[in-house]
Amino acid sequence: MNELDNIYKELGNDICLMPFLAAFYQTHNVAQVQDGELPNSVRPCSLITKDTPRRWAITNQSVYEARNSPAWREIREQFVQGQFKSIDDCSICIHNELVNGTSPRKESNRALAHQLDINIVDTVKQIIADDYYAHNIYALDYYPSNYCNLECVMCGGGSSSRRQVFEVKFLNQPGRITFNEADPDFLDALHRVQVINFAGGETMMQPQFHKVLDYLIDNDLAHNVIVGFLTNATSDTGKVDSKFQHFRQVVCSVSIDGTSEVIEYQRRGCDWAKVSENALTLMHHTGVGAVVNYVLTNINVFSFMDFVDWCYTNDYGPKYKEEQRNFITITPVFRADHLSVTALPPELKHTVLSRLHAGLIRYRVINTVLSKYYSRVILQAIDIVTAAEHDESHLMQFVQLIQKEDRASTRPLQEVVPEWAPYLQPTL
Neighbours of 52 (CB within 10 A): 11
pLDDT at 51 over 60: no
The pLDDT, as a whole number, for residue 30 is 75
133 within domain boundaries? yes
For 428, residues 6+ apart whose C-beta sits below 8 A from its C-beta are none
363 within domain boundaries? no
C-alpha to C-alpha distance for 144 and 401, rounded to whole angstroms? 29
pLDDT over 90 percentage in the chain = 78
Rounded to the nearest 5°, which phi and psi values hold at 151? Answer: -125, 70
The pLDDT, as a whole number, for residue 428 is 37
Question: Average pLDDT in the 275-281 region?
Answer: 96
Query: Helix/strand/coil (H, E, C) string of 239-260?
Result: CCHHHHCCCCEEEEEEECCCCH
Strands 226-231 and 249-255 come out as parallel
pLDDT at 108 over 90: yes
Q: Which residues are registered as beta bridge partners of 22?
A: 139
206 within domain boundaries? yes
**Residue-number span of the structural domain to which 15 is assigned:** 4-336
Question: Average pLDDT in the 142-167 region?
Answer: 92
Least confidently predicted of 109-123, 303-317, 331-345: 331-345
243 within domain boundaries? yes
C-alpha to C-alpha distance for 263 and 275, rounded to whole angstroms? 10
pLDDT at 149 over 90: yes
Question: Average pLDDT in the 96-105 region?
Answer: 87
Question: Average pLDDT in the 314-328 region?
Answer: 77
Handedness of CA 265, 158, 46, 333 (dihedral sign): negative
280 within domain boundaries? yes
pLDDT at 325 over 70: no
What kind and span of H or E run contains 397?
helix 392-405
Averaged confidence pLDDT in the chain: 92
- 174-226 pLDDT, tens digit per residue, is 777 788 889 999 999 999 999 999 998 899 999 999 999 999 999 999 999 99
423 within domain boundaries? no
The terminus-to-terminus CA distance of the chain in angstroms comes to: 67
- 354-377 pLDDT, tens digit per residue, is 999 999 999 999 999 999 999 999
Question: Average pLDDT in the 78-86 region?
Answer: 95
Q: Is the peptide bond before 269 cis (omega within 30 degrees of 0)?
A: no
405 within domain boundaries? no
Quote the number of domains for the chain: 1
Closest by alpha carbon to 229, among 270, 198, 191, 258?
198
DSSP for residue 237:
S
pLDDT at 15 over 60: yes
362 within domain boundaries? no
